Structure 1
Amino acid sequence: MRIFISSLISGFEPQRAAARRAVITLRHEPVMAEDFGAQPSSPQIACLQGLRGSDIVVLILGEHYGFVPPGSSLSATHQEYREARETKPVLAFVQQGISPGPEQAAFIAEVQAWEGGLFRGGFVGVDDLQDGVTRALHDVTLANATAPVDEHEMSVRATAMLAAENKNQVTSAMLDLVVVGGPRQRILRPAELEAPVLAEQLEQSALYGHSRLFDRTLGTASGLDGSDLVLRQERGASIRLTEQGSVSLRMPLDEPRPLGRGFDAMSGMVIVEEVVQERLGTALDFAAGVIDRVDRTQRLTNLIVMVRLSGVEHRGWRTRAQHASNPNSVQMGHGGMRERPPITLTIRRAALGLDRTALIEDILVPLRRQFPMAS
């Protein structure tokens, strides 16, 4: 793979050399401004072209913001980050124990606030940085590697978990997500599944963690359903965890929360694309956290991710902008019940944490195609 190394150059030569060593150690190709030579274009254009031709970006941030080219309000490194973040995996490393100025502090805050497709790590010295870059690139390599896996068996288990979560009639719109790991094996002993501490940890994460699945104004019930641990809320949100480390999640799409856009996206007449995208990101992040918690030694190497929307018959699909421009006019199709099979992806386990933006897109686009665009 071609790895673009983005950072301040002047005064950061040791850190860039450490990143180069990490890339070469894993037999990838470093792409660095120092190697471009004479170019007919400006240095910044040459760097952006090098970035666009790369597969991954390693971003290294230190104390100083760097030179701001004429005609721009952003430093060269900041421009490179903005260029990369929507299209490529970004591995960001922030130096610890520094006192950045206002511009660099804002840049670091922007990087740390962005969730999709980004790995973040800290470093103190060049050896620490080299080790961190090596580990992160190795994880990306694993995420994109292929390995033999019984996809059919995993898909059967995932489908069964979807069915188990939909036995009762549901009237509100729900996002259903299942993550099944392979090769099939027992990850949790029965005593571990029924231990109160596990349910308490899941409930704590669902209510107060970074990826909040549950509504804090509602009560939560937990217990065993057969051999599975299940946590439920009144509005239909739920978590199911099996002995094999498989996770099934349900999230309401019609949750009445203000969106700050001047309209009620939860009208019950349309599916709002950005709401599905937000819930999907939350569910994937929560599932990744659960699997990492119960399978710390990564015995599960491959995953099936299965997603569907339920309780959404006769709804159309809109973006927030489309709904804001005409919220009171929704013309729906009348084609009867349509079969909407779940969206299914087979991935390496590391891809659940890395390449998050691409994973969400690979699920969201096929989901959108299953629904008519609401006029």
Structure 2
Amino acid sequence: MAEPRVFVSSVIDGFQPYREAARKGIKAAGGEPVLVNEDFPSLPKSSRNACLDAVASSDIYLAIIGERAGWRAPSGKLVVEEEFEKAQNRDMPVLLFLVAGDREDEAERLARRLSDYVEGYFRVEVESPTELQEETERALERLIDKPSDEQPDMQRVKDATSAPCDLGGRPSLRTVLMPEREEEVIDPMTLESDKFRHRVYRIAHALSVKLLRYKEQKSHSLSQNALVITQRSSSRQRRGKEDVRIEIGERGRIIVDASVTEPDQRGMGAGMVIDASKIKGVARRAYAFAEAFFDEIDQHGRYQQFLHNAVLANPGNRKIVDEVDPQQKTFSVPYGAQNDHIVAFDTPRNISRNTLREPGGEIGRILTRIRRKRESDTQKGF
């Protein structure tokens, strides 16, 4: 399961040994440390917004208060104080550590506020980075559930692959991707908004994605807890070729159905095969869309692990080939294989966000598994 993200809040200058000690303690306890100043790349936003967004993307807030209070934000509050209030507003668990020694007035005020006897949090005083590391690990072990031997809940992914969308009875590929964290990713009100829908349209039309095409007709609807966008080919000559369906759920599940046919091919043989390059192309566009989507809504990387699967729908008797020759008049057809759909993996696979950026290996795996199952079905049919 995904590691809980722990945001480290403190002054920066001269405090690196304590911040690194916190990092080590978080990792030892099974968490993912979030240290904005040390780890984040350049972002198209202010430092203040980057820090507050990082707090919002985390699961646990950890504050370390030493001698100095640090910088003040435009609000007049200390930076650490603003980050603390953001964590409070999101009902996040708060861990508070005080470094032993004298504190300047504002640092003392902050320490008193965060550790107030009635409204504050129980504090632990440490005298060295080594002690902070040990106490951080000890505190987090009580908050972080250790991974069990049980398989993660994959039912939502399995449900999506058990009944792929029918794009006019033509062969299509469905790809399913879902964050491993079981939580609301998109607010229901956001999901219904025009702004969010246009955002999805923009991402899907982008040159780096090309999942949707501007010249084709589109429609949208809300289905249960998901936004559904459908594209249908407008040209009779290209009917079905550009058919696409995109579904995005509140929990971040993305389902993409897209045609893998070439209706403008000529020759009887060409009509009885599926070009492997079409399967690869559709899968690549689907994962490019997922990558771009999460890069926009999750710039601080809260969602790093995903469950995914793929299914070839309505293959009929068609054979999967590496190259289609439209001039070929005859073709051997696997008449024994007439499955409605072929699921790539028996159990949904766990992939990382890095795989979304470079999905070539995973796409090759998908095609290989679908082909093997197609061949196995053919042998059983004969």
The TM-score by the shorter chain falls in which range?
A: 0.5 to 0.7
Measured at CA, do residues 272 and 164 of structure 1 come closer, stay the same or move farther in structure 2, by a change above 3 Å? Answer: closer
1:328 aligned partner, one-letter code: K
Opposite residue 203 of structure 1, the aligned amino acid is Y
- For residues 268 and 365 of structure 1, the distance between their equivalents in structure 2, rounded to whole angstroms, comes to 22
Deviation at 1:242, TM superposition (A): 0.8
Aligned with residue 203 of structure 1, among 195, 198, 201: 201
Preserved CA contact (<8 Å) 1:265 1:272: no
* 304, 315, 319: which one aligns with 2:318: 315
Query: What secondary structure sits across from 1:292 in the alignment?
Result: helix
What is aligned with 2:294?
291
What code does the residue aligned with 1:306 have? N
* Aligned partner of 2:260 among 250, 253, 260: 253
Distance 2:276 2:259 in 1: 14
Which residue of structure 2 lines up, in the alignment, with residue 240 of structure 1? 247
- SS of the equivalent of 1:172 reads coil
Shift of the 359–275 alpha-carbon distance from structure 1 to 2, 3 Å rule, reads same
CA drift of 1:186 comes to 0.8
Q: Distance in 2 between matches of 1:370 and 1:164?
A: 17
**Contact 1:272–1:317, Cα closer than 8 Å, also in 2:** yes
AA paired with 1:341? V
Flag the 1:148–1:270 CA change in 2: closer, same or farther, 3 A.
farther
Residue type at the aligned position of 2:154: S
Aligned residue pairs total 220
Offset, 1:208? 4.2
Unaligned 5+ residue runs, structure 1? 1-146
Find the structure with the greater CA-based Rg: 2
Aligned residues of 1:256 and 1:266 also touching (Cα < 8 A): no
Between the aligned partners of 1:329 and 1:266, the Cα distance in structure 2 is 5
Q: How big is each residue's C-alpha offset from its partner over 1:104-161, in whole Å with a ceiling of 9 and x where there is no partner? A: xxxxxxxxxxxxxxxxxxxxxxxxxxxxxxxxxxxxxxxxxxx959985442111223
Q: Is the 8 A contact 1:255 1:266 kept in 2?
A: no
Partners of 2:269 and 2:302 in 1: CA distance: 40
Residue aligning to 2:119: none
Aligned partners of 2:267 and 2:253: how far apart in 1?
Answer: 35
Task: Give, in whole Å, the separation in 1 of the partners of 2:268 and 2:208.
Answer: 23
Shift of 1:325: 8.5
Specify the alignment match of 1:328 in structure 2.
329
Q: Distance in 1 between matches of 2:195 and 2:248?
A: 14
Is the 8 Å Cα contact of residues 268 and 329 (structure 2) preserved in structure 1?
no
Are the counterparts in 2 of residues 154 and 304 from structure 1 also a CA contact under 8 Å?
A: no
Shift of residue 330, structure 1, vs aligned partner: 1.3
Give the letter for the 2:291 counterpart: A
The CA distance in 2 between the partners of 1:148 and 1:352, in whole Å, is 25
Distance 1:362 1:161, change over 3 A: same
Shift in Å, 1:328: 2.2
8 Å contact 1:271–1:316 — kept in the other structure? yes
Gap change, CA 1:302 and 1:222, over 3 Å in 2 = same
**Post-superposition offset of 1:207:** 3.0
Alignment of 1:101-120 (within 5 A): none
Residue-by-residue CA offset, 1:214-265 (whole Å, 9 max, x unaligned)? 243321111211110110122441111111111100111114478xxxx789
TM-score (norm 2): 0.51
- Amino acid in structure 2 at the alignment position of 1:213: L
SS of the aligned residue for 1:370 comes to: helix
Cα deviation code 1:315-363 (max 9, x no counterpart): 111111xx33963221112215347333342112222214x22222222
Q: 1:193 aligns with which of 176, 191, 194?
A: 191
Q: How does 1:92-171 map to 2 (within 5 A)?
A: 152-163=151-162, 165-166=164-165, 170-171=168-169
Q: How far did 1:209 drift?
A: 3.3
Please name the residue that 2:353 is paired with. Answer: 349
In the superposition, relative to structure 1, how do residues 204 and 161 fare at CA in structure 2: closer, same or farther (>3 Å)?
A: same
Distance in 2 between residues matched to 1:266 and 1:200, nearest whole Å: 41
Query: Within 2, Cα distance between the matches of 1:181 and 1:148?
Result: 17
Partners of 2:316 and 2:148 lie apart in 1 by: 34
> Please, which of 341, 364, 368 is the counterpart of residue 361 of structure 1?
364
Report how far residue 200 of structure 1 moved. 0.9
Q: Structure 1 length normalisation: TM-score? A: 0.52
- CA separation of 1:157/1:149 partners in 2, compared to 1, >3 Å: closer, same or farther? farther
